[in-house]
Amino acid sequence: MVATPIGNLGDITVRAARILAEADAVICEDSRVTGKLLTHLGIKASMIAYHDHNADKIRPAILARLRQGEALALVSDAGTPLVSDPGFKLVREASAEGIALTALPGPSSVLTALVLAAIPCERFLFAGFLPAKAQARRSLLAELASVPAALVLFESPNRLADSLADLASILGDRPAAMAREMTKLFEEVRRAPLVELAAQYRDAPAPKGELVLVVGPPLAPSLPSEADLDSLIGNALTTMSVRDAAQAVAVATGLRKKDVYARALALAAAKG
């Protein structure tokens, strides 16, 4: 079995096109989407719909065909199979049975965004989608704050403003990029420090399409001025409790939590 992304029609490799033409069947999320690709390539192939809603029912039949020696190709509507994609369980079970597998490189929103972000990326961590609920999102970001690498995250357009605000509050003013519709027709990249990027989207309409956020690694430790510290704490207090804000700012700045907590209490009291 082979796994390959399809991306835009012009993105597919010669090898991937050959594999699709030779496959006994093509496993896809939506036959209407994959059908356009096959028609464009002049390929007549049997298609098997495989997605979140039918995967448990369809997977045994696919595995049975693979056991019989059929060559099946797994494609995704956009992006790379298995990355936030239902193909993972199929590939895992095929691997467990010793079925031969390979993958063909193609369009990748993660790698494309990382390259175009113009942020140091000798090390990077792909963390997938941020949690939808605010508290869970902030807890995860607090865990990620000390990771010595660039962070790559997926996000929903409707949650972008809230997530950028949390990123700025918890991670500090790191370099960042919002990459939209990677490898597609309306590709767009906005690069700015997190605080500025959060301000750009605070009151703006939600962008359309698939989004990838890239955030630079932790900044070199430096003690913030009193004014900068108060600004960081003030931003964090707009969305967090005093305790959570102190924890987030302490992680971002390297200051002792009890010192930041004392200052956060004073600022909160001053605001009444």
Cβ neighbour number for residue 210 with a 10 Å cutoff: 19
Q: What is the DSSP string of 237-257?
A: HTTS-HHHHHHHHHHHH---H
Please enumerate in sequence order all residues whose Cβ is within 8 A of that of 166, keeping only pairs 6 or more positions apart, or say none.
Answer: 134, 137, 138, 141, 239
The reported pLDDT for the residue numbered 272 is 65
180 close to 187: Cβ distance less than 8 angstroms? yes
How many other CB atoms are there within 10 angstroms of residue 52's CB atom?
Answer: 9
**Strands 211-215 and 102-103, sheet pairing:** unpaired
Q: 2-103 sits in which CATH class?
A: alpha beta
Tell me, what's the pLDDT at 133?
96
Cα separation, 131 vs 37, in Å, equals 33
Fold of 109-215: 3.30.950
Per-residue pLDDT tens over the stretch 104-121? 877 788 999 999 999 988
The whole-number pLDDT of residue 2 equals 62
- Give the per-residue pLDDT at 184: 85
Q: So where are the chain's domains? A: 2-103, 109-215, 226-270
pLDDT for res 162: 96
Tokens of 211: 């989004």
**C-beta of residue 215 within 8 angstroms of C-beta of residue 174:** yes
**DSSP secondary structure string, 87-133?**
HHHHHHHHHHTT---EE-----HHHHHHHHTTS--SSEEEEEEPPSS
**Mean pLDDT for the chain?**
89
- With a cut of 90, say whether residue 50 has pLDDT above it: yes
Give strand ranges (E) for 181-249: 188-193, 211-215
Closest CA relative to residue 181, chosen from 213, 150, 212: 212
Q: Is the pLDDT of residue 47 over 90?
A: yes
pLDDT in tens, 164-192: 999 999 999 999 999 999 888 899 999 99
> How high is the pLDDT of residue 264?
92
pLDDT digits (tens, 9 = 90+) for 12-39: 788 889 999 999 999 998 899 899 989 9
Instruction: Using CB atoms within 10 Å of the CB of residue 26, give its burial: 0 to 12 exposed, 13 to 18 middle, 19+ buried.
Output: buried
